[in-house]
Structure 1
Amino acid sequence: MLALLGVLTIAVLLAAILTKRMSPLVALIIVPIVASLIGGFGLQTGKFVLDGLKSLAPVVGMFVFAILYFGVITDAGTLDPIIERIVRTVGTRPTRIVMGTTLLALLIHLDGSGAVCFLVTIPAMLPLYDRLGMDRRVLAAAASMAAGVNFLPWTGPMIRASASLHLPVAALFNPLVPVQIVGLAFVLGAAYWLGRREEKRLGLDAGSGSGVPLPQFAITDEQKALRRPRNFWFNIVLTVFVLGSMIAMGEKMPPAIMFMVGLCIALLVNYPDVEMQRQRIDAHARAALMMAGILLAAGAFTGIMQGSGMLKAMAGVAVGFVPADMAAHIPVVLGLLSMPLSLLFDPDSFYFGVLPVVAEVAAQLGVPAVKIGQAALLGQMTTGFPISPLTPATFLVCGLTRVDLADHQKFTFPLLFGASIVMTIACVALGIFSL
């Protein structure tokens, strides 16, 4: 009964968001609360929600202050020279711009943080997309693909898989190196295709050597008054320090604190007047509040799903549907399903709840646990996390690009799923999985 209630809750949530019957914020709050009350949890629902909010509080703090920080840095004109340099490097052809976006996201995501990847890549590239009239969904998709195919040894999914299956990271990762290369090739190919499609949409002759004309970048007098070109290098060094500290200090220093301190320094240096500081915060408060609201709503959803036991119940039922004669195909099937399963399970629930059970069942049928872990890494919160409503990063992508969640999911899902399928096929071709 609990498993069925969980499946129905997820289904209703996704249907409400994808059909735009409810906004993500409303759906993430109303749907799980109603499900919890139907399940008979009554006043316990409040505790579930509170636990979910507590778990997301540091993430919400980071995102809020990150949006304010990058807003202030952008107001000061710090990104203007960077965008101009990118324009000169990649030109004004959408094909090169989309591929440049992908490469930039790949480089930044080397630290394994999807949040940092999106926080740096999207604000840097969005003005260029807007100037050329390119589809913002393409920017969201390019950054998502680049971050999704990255399952390096220090990324969250890899660490979770290693811990839950009690396997060395090297045992999971090393055989997947050529598979990841295949995935990266697919991502770059998809980026090229997206760029070519944008060129056609913008009316660019495929045989022409010229790119889309770059519109004149005009700023208002009000925006000119906010620019601080003399502080360019200071703002660059400050941004590098903030982001570098997040990577170097890891869990020793919460990212929210780095953005809080960075925001204060950026305001004091660029806008020492108290009234201007208030105006800059007010200018970006709406975006920050909207993001915080959605993230807290996501916390309420995950808190109810975990606290009520619906996620655990779904996991137990799902494992029971595996026939014994299909044992050899479990890694391939899991590899193909791992990406869509990101829409149903948050990373902790899957890797610490579902994966050990699947691995145990497979082991009893003669399939090594390492194969199960590798199959999960091909999509479960790797290629799947940028569109999953269970991860804050998804809402970060939508918030930064100002693309509706449903539009982002519909546009990007086939690309991310395609990457997962291609990597699964590569595993079979390379002998990592057997049929």
Structure 2
Amino acid sequence: MLVALSFAMFACFIYLLISGRMSATTVLILVPTVFALIGGFAPDMGDMVVKGIKTIAPTGVLLIFAMMYFMVMTDAGMFDPIVKRIVGAVGGDPVKIFIGTVALGYIVALDGDGATVYMITLSAFMPLYRRLGLSLPMVACLLLQCTGIGNLLPWGGPTARAAAAMKVEMSDVFTPLILPLLACVAWAFFMAWIFGMRERKRIGVVTIDTTQLIEHRADAGWKLYFNWALTIVLMASLVLEILPLSYLFMIGAAIAMLANFPQYKAQQEVIAKHAPAILSVATMLFSASVFIGILNETGMASALAQSIVDVIPNQVGPYMAVITALLSIPVTWLVSNDVFYFGMLPILAEAAGHYGITGAEMARASLVGQPVHILSPLVASTYLLVSRLDLNYGETQKFTIRWSVGASFVMLAVAVVLGIIPLYR
């Protein structure tokens, strides 16, 4: 029953999301609630959702204060010199702007956190997007490629889970994947060129004056250097995990506010100015906690993963690495990384082991779906991106999915050709 219920819930969820009949917030709350009632889980629904809220709360706090931090820095003019240099380098050429977007996105993605990618890149490029009227779904698609691959760095999460589940060294999983990951980076730049050519054909190359892009502000003086020093220290602390990420951004936001807007009235004005955008992200994010809590606590996620394993015939055992890679594309969109890597992957690996496929090879194969996983409704940072660009969540999914699937196939093809993931064993 759980399998049928989970498939029906996802079908309803995807239809309502893609069709645009309901907002993402409404779908995330009502769809799992209805299906939990149908499944007879009414007495336990409250506890399930509370567990989902506890799961999402640290990320929610992180995103709220990360938004506040970067919005304060934007108001303080920290990104103005970057915008001036970017405009000087790319002008009003959509091709160069999109390539610059991907380049900056990948640089920031080295910290393994999607929220910082979106906040920093959009803070730098948003004036250009708006001035030229560039396609924001294209922008979202490109940045999702950056975070999908950045998430695969050893400190990003999925790679560590795969290595732990297979009980192998991190270096045995990640190091061989460097070339396939670089191929995905090249794919993103190719996408930027395609999108840029489309936009160049639509709007042409525009002559831009930086005074049209940058709000006139008083000379930042020492504050500019202080803000950049604070941001560098914050980013380094995030990578080193000196403190929990959410707490680091809380401290950073407080210091940034105090340094740049020392007067109480000015602080209140900044908070009021950005409250609608922050509230929009927080609302959508905590709505997702209903979906996450019910999906996991009812057992639907585990039942869904197990049902997929059960339908794999024994005859395909020698191809299990490639099958795992292909399965990871849709399954990691449907269920959390924890369910896939700690619940499903060990079962697949046990079957593959009979044919000489190693745990490290299975771990590598299991990571192929991550460019698509970043689109999952279970990934919190994607709500931040959609909100910052003022896009429809379902439309963003529909536009991006084929390009992200393309990235997964690029990664798989290169890995198979190089023997990193065995085609047949």
TM-score by length of 2: 0.94
Cα distance between partner residues in 2 of 1:76 and 1:304: 42
Q: CA deviation at 1:215?
A: 5.5
Amino acid at match of 2:231: T
Contact 2:84 2:210 in 1 (8 A): no
Q: Which position in structure 2 is the counterpart of 1:207?
A: none
Q: How does 1:219-298 map to 2 (within 5 A)?
A: 224=216, 229-230=220-221, 231-248=223-240, 250=241, 252-298=242-288
Asked whether 1:339 is paired with 2:333, we answer no
Cα separation, 1, equivalents of 2:211 and 2:401: 33
Distance in structure 1 (CA, Å) of the matches to 2:355 and 2:304? 22
CA contact (8 A) 1:95 1:196 kept: yes
State the TM-score, normalizing by the size of structure 1: 0.91
Matches within 5 A, 1:176-215: 176-202=177-203, 204=204, 211-214=205-208
Correspondence 1:392 to 2:383? no
Q: Give me the identity figure in percent.
A: 35
Pairwise CA distance, 1:300: 1.6
CA deviation profile, 1:141-190 (whole Å, cap 9, x unmatched): 12111221232233211000011111111222232222222222222111
Match of 1:415 in 2: 403
| Alpha-carbon separation, structure 1, partners of 2:130 and 2:104 | 18
Partner of 1:404: 392
Give the drift of 1:244: 2.4
**Which one-letter code corresponds to 1:245 in the other structure?**
S
Give the Cα separation in 2 of the matches to 1:368 and 1:99. 38
| Counterpart amino acid of residue 241 in structure 1 | V
> Residues 280-324 of structure 1, C-alpha deviation per residue, up to 9 Å, x if partnerless?
101111111111111111112111111111111111111111111
Structure 2 residue identity aligned to 1:434: L
Deviation, structure 1 residue 375? 1.4
Conserved in 2, the CA contact under 8 Å of 1:327 and 1:366?
no
**Secondary structure of the equivalent of 1:384?**
helix
Asked if structure 2 preserves the Cα contact closer than 8 Å seen for 1:122 and 1:139, the reply is: no
Task: Write out aligned runs for 1:26-425 (5 A).
Answer: 26-150=26-150, 151-202=152-203, 204=204, 211-214=205-208, 217-218=211-212, 224=216, 229-230=220-221, 231-248=223-240, 250=241, 252-379=242-369, 382-425=370-413
Cα deviation per residue 1:67-102 (whole Å; 9 max; x = unaligned)? Answer: 122222212222222111111123321111111111
- The amino acid of 1:339's aligned partner reads I
Distance 2:126 2:402 in 1: 22
Change (3 A) 1:375 1:233: same
Q: CA deviation at 1:328?
A: 2.1
C-alpha distance in 2 between matches for 1:227 and 1:22: 44
RMSD, aligned α-carbons = 1.9
Task: State how far apart, in whole Å, the 2-side matches of 1:129 and 1:242 are.
Answer: 27
Aligned partners of 1:247 and 1:152: how far apart in 2?
11
Pairwise CA distance, 1:235: 2.1
Alpha carbons 1:92, 1:213 under 8 Å: kept: yes
TM-aligned CA deviation for residue 228 of structure 1: 5.7
Distance 1:19 1:243, change over 3 A: same
Structure-1 residue corresponding to 2:423: 434
The answer to whether the Cα contact below 8 Å between 2:91 and 2:206 also exists between their aligned partners in 1 is no
- Residue 358 of structure 1: how far off its partner (Å): 1.7
Instruction: Check whether the contact 1:149–1:419 (CA below 8 A) recurs between aligned residues.
Output: no
Q: Which residue type is aligned with residue 168 of structure 1?
A: E
Measured after TM superposition, the shift of residue 119 of structure 1 is: 2.4
Deviation at 1:366, TM superposition (A): 4.6
> Relative to structure 2, which stretch is displaced further, 24-33 or 397-406?
397-406
Question: Residue type matched to 2:251 in 1?
Answer: V
More displaced stretch, 360-369 vs 342-351: 360-369
**1:213 and 1:340, CA in 2 relative to 1: closer, same or farther beyond 3 A?**
farther
Contact (CA 8 Å) 1:75, 1:227: kept in 2 or not?
no
- Does the 8 Å contact 2:324/2:348 carry over to 1? no
- The runs of 5 or more residues in structure 1 that have no matched partner are 205-210
Paired with 2:304 and 2:213, the residues of 1 have a C-alpha distance of 53
Q: Please report how far the alpha carbon of residue 60 of structure 1 lies from its aligned counterpart in structure 2 after TM superposition.
A: 0.7
Tell me: CA distance 1:215–1:365, structure 2 relative to 1, closer, same or farther (3 Å). same
Deviation at 1:276, TM superposition (A): 1.8
Provide structure 2 residue ranges, at least 5 long, that are not aligned to the other structure: none
Would the aligned equivalents of 2:96 and 2:196 in 1 still touch at CA under 8 Å? yes
2:415 and 2:260 mapped to 1: Cα distance?
52
SS at match of 1:43: helix
After TM superposition, the structure 1 = structure 2 runs for residues 11-22 of structure 1, keeping only pairs within 5 Å, are 11-22=11-22
